[in-house]
Amino acid sequence: MQRYFVKHRANEDCFIIGEEDRHHIVKVMRMQIGDQIICVDPEGKQAICRLAEITDESVVADVVQWKEEISELPISITIASGLPKGDKLEWIIQKGTELGAHQFFPFSAARSVVKWDEKKAAKKIERWQKIAKEAAEQSHRAMMPEIMNPMNFKALLGKSRGFDYKLAAFEDESRNGEISVFSSTLKKMNKGESLLLVFGPEGGLANEEVQQLKEHGFGLCGLGPRILRTETAPLYALSAISYHFELLR
């Protein structure tokens, strides 16, 4: 059943769907009055709904049944990615959303080849948010991750103060055989707590960045014996987190 994140509810028993989702329902899915969809409100409440009215501007969907299901990770995961080349960040956002990430912090790292273009910022961020929305709907998420504006490294350190736990993936730790920091951190975490995971761009984090991360309370962790690409490492980490908190329990 098709799922939509809906910003507006007329009342407890009625959703009003507009903009691109109305176009998707009418023009792409070719739905008609009486067809059913799943609507998710801004608080993450989900309901099976029946299309009741279709106008030129919106679709009205009446609630048939509220759904009680858990599709979110029990802890909040934010992925901070050093700006990579090409469309790698789009891949991280799409797959990271499917795997349960709550937020994405793109940042300019010392070794980032890509330089952030403020003139193209609005369109880029709009595209990233659309990718996250579609991935969240496809994977039956109850919330849509937030994509923050790309920030510099200093701003990232400032943002890190609001998290319960903070880790940075550092390939030298993998080479040295470090296997405990990542897993031991997950074992300490409780439901509702937050974790910020920092990943460098191609070439990894610079030594001065690693030092500053340590000074700001980050633990350095390896992600197994193999060196992972910048677009692979966040997905590895999210998969391991899902296994630890959802499959093992």
Q: What pLDDT does 179 receive?
A: 62
3-67 and 76-247 agree in CATH topology? no
- The mean of the pLDDT values for the chain is 92
Report d(CA 133, CA 209) in Å as an integer.
32
pTM: 0.90
Report d(CA 99, CA 237) in Å as an integer.
10
Single-letter residue type at 103 = Q
Determine how many CB atoms are found less than 10 A away from the CB of residue 71: 15
Report d(CA 162, CA 46) in Å as an integer.
29
The CATH-assigned architecture of domain 76-247 is 3-Layer(aba) Sandwich (3.40)
Domains of the chain, by residue range, sit at 3-67, 76-247
Summarize pLDDT for 156-194 with one digit per residue, the tens. 999 999 999 999 998 775 555 556 899 999 999 999 999
Report d(CA 188, CA 172) in Å as an integer.
24
Report d(CA 113, CA 51) in Å as an integer.
48
Fold of 3-67: Ribosomal Protein L25; Chain P (2.40.240)
Report d(CA 186, CA 165) in Å as an integer.
9
